[in-house]
Each structure stands twice: as C-alpha cells, then as structure tokens.
Amino acid sequence: MYGAEPVNEESERTAFRKAEKKYKIYYENAKKKKIPRSVDLSEVIDFRSILESFKGGGDLPAGVFELKCDFNQPVFGLVSRPGFYFIPAALSIEEQCHWIRESLTSFPQPPNRTNHNAIYGPLQDLFLAAKEGKVLIEEDTLAENIISEANLDQSNVNTPRWKYIKELDESFSRDAGKSVSASVLLRKLRWSTLGLQFDWSKRSYNIALPHKKIPDKLCMLAKRMAAPAMPCSEEFHPEAAIVNYFGLGDMLGGHLDDMEKDWSKPIVSIRYDSIKCSMFFLLSMSFCLIC
C-alpha cells in the first residue's frame, strides 16, 4: 500500500518543497492589516466540490475515482497516489463540534503530552484556566512574593514547577518573564499526543512514558474511517494519535509519517471544517491515508 514502484526521493522532496512554497500564505505589505497574496488554485483538488458534483450525478475529475466498498458514504481515491483515499464531509457538524471541544478540553490533559511539556511540564485543565483568566507562574517567583491563600488556586496543579493563580498583582511586575497567561498558552497550543507517546527528539514511540488509552469513542471513529482501507475481515486497532492545532495562517511543514511498526495498516487523518476554514493538504509519497 505504500507504493510498490521505486521513486527518486530527492526529486520527490524537491517537488514537494516547491509545492509547499507555492501554496504557503504570503502577505502583501499593508499599513493597517495583512492582505494575503493571491494563489493559483487551478491545480488544487477540492474534496467538497467533488462530493457535491458526485451526488448531483456529475462526472469525477480526471485522476479521481470512487472506491467500491461497503461504507455509508462515498469514498474517493487518486489514480496517481495508490493507497490514498479521502471521505469528504465524513463528520457531521455536530460530530465536528464534539471533537473540537474534546480537542481543547480533554486531549491536552496529562498524562497526554503537548508542545508545552518541555518548558512548563504537564498542564492540567488549560482550557478551563484560560476561560477563567488565570495566570501560570513559576514556583520560584511564588516563593519570593507574598500571596494570600485566597489568590492561589492549587486545585488545577499537576506540576511541581508551575502553578496557576487567579490574577497577577503589581508585586510580580519584576518577574514578568516568569509568568504567562493561560489564554496565551492556549493560543500557542500546537499539538497533543494520545495513547502511546511520541518522542519527538528521537522520532520514535516511547512506551516508557506515562500514557492512557485513546478514548473509546475516538477509537470507534478511527475504526469506522479506516474500514475502507483495511483488508477484508480485519479491524483497525489505533494505538496512538497526534492532535494538531492550527490558527489562521498556520501550516504544518512537510514530513514523513514513517514511524509506524506495521505499514500495511492505514494512517487516519481527520480534519474539522465546521467553521468553513480552508486548508491545503499536500501529498507527496504514496502513503495509505484517509482524510
């Protein structure tokens, strides 16, 4: 499923980088607001428009085919990328809203790791802390200042080095570098890992890191989405997941998802578009993916 024909890796990488640069957002110089430069979208495949045309009895674009399988929604593939399938509008608006909430409130919870772990350690209830306007402050700073017990909230603490407080008074002004608002940390949340934890420094899964199973409902969703790419009578059993968070204009650089032990099983990629945010998905190698 991962491409039987040999490819020139260097030429593939160069072509991908050119495409990545082509579709990256660049802004025109403007005094009052950023104005994104126009991008040529003539070669972009619009998954949603393909689905709408298909349901209306229209022809599929050249190079796109319908995968014949026992699935309750149309599944499409690309002739040029064997093993890649996409399911437009796979989730209802209600389902997307549910998983967006889970992505913000549940998935970043320890022992799941996030991009903040390296500096702040595990952060408990980050979304709630941001909603309540709390501030994260280093314990050394706390020891140097007199803070009333009423101003210190220890109920949401799961790290010996940093604590949430309800507000930052004037006595902390000298140590502003040792504090950060929870709302800022929430905006800077870039990823969280579920199930087996991934060691980004070694590019491998570390079974020694504390972790808990992927939530049952998410496992069931992944199994359902993976079904069209699975061999007959086999079931998909997800063990790890990475949740990526994007703001307007953000991008995820080109990379290889090549650390999985069994390459005969698909990688399931789910994106939320309930708020009509446009995004580009660039595919270089013939990975077995489902979007």
Residue 257 annotated as part of some ligand binding site: yes
Radius of gyration of the chain, Cα coordinates, nearest whole angstrom: 22
Q: Give the model's pLDDT for residue 38.
A: 82
Cα–Cα distance measured from residue 49 to residue 229, given in angstroms and rounded to the nearest whole number: 23
Quick one: what percent of the chain has pLDDT higher than 70?
77
Q: Give the model's pLDDT for residue 209.
A: 87
Q: Give the model's pLDDT for residue 286.
A: 43
Cα–Cα distance measured from residue 58 to residue 60, given in angstroms and rounded to the nearest whole number: 7
Residue 255 annotated as part of some ligand binding site: yes
Quick one: what percent of the chain has pLDDT higher than 90?
33
Q: Give the model's pLDDT for residue 149.
A: 37
Lowest pLDDT segment from 22-26, 97-101, 118-122, 168-172: 168-172
Q: What would the pLDDT profile of 13-72 be if each residue is shown by its tens digit?
A: 677 788 778 877 777 766 667 777 788 888 888 888 899 999 999 999 999 999 988 888
Q: What are phi and psi of 163, to 5 degrees?
A: -135, 150
CA distances in angstroms from 177 to 136, 138, 212, listed in the order given: 11, 10, 33
Q: Give the residues across from 192 on adjacent strands.
A: 114, 243
In this structure, what DSSP letter does residue 231 have? P
| Of residues 61 and 264, more confidently modeled | 61
For residues 143-153, average pLDDT: 41
Q: Give the model's pLDDT for residue 10.
A: 62
Q: What would the pLDDT profile of 153-210 be if each residue is shown by its tens digit?
A: 333 334 447 888 887 655 555 444 588 999 999 999 999 999 998 887 777 888 888 8
For residues 104-128, average pLDDT: 94
DSSP string, 17-79: HHHHHHHS--EE--SSS-EEPP---TT---HHHHHHHHHTTPPPPTTEEE--SS-SS--EEET
Lowest pLDDT segment from 60-64, 116-120, 143-147, 264-268: 143-147
Please tell me the pTM assigned to this model. 0.76
For residues 217-239, average pLDDT: 89
| Burial of 132 per CB tally in 10 Å (0-12, 13-18, 19+) | middle
Q: Give the model's pLDDT for residue 162.
A: 84
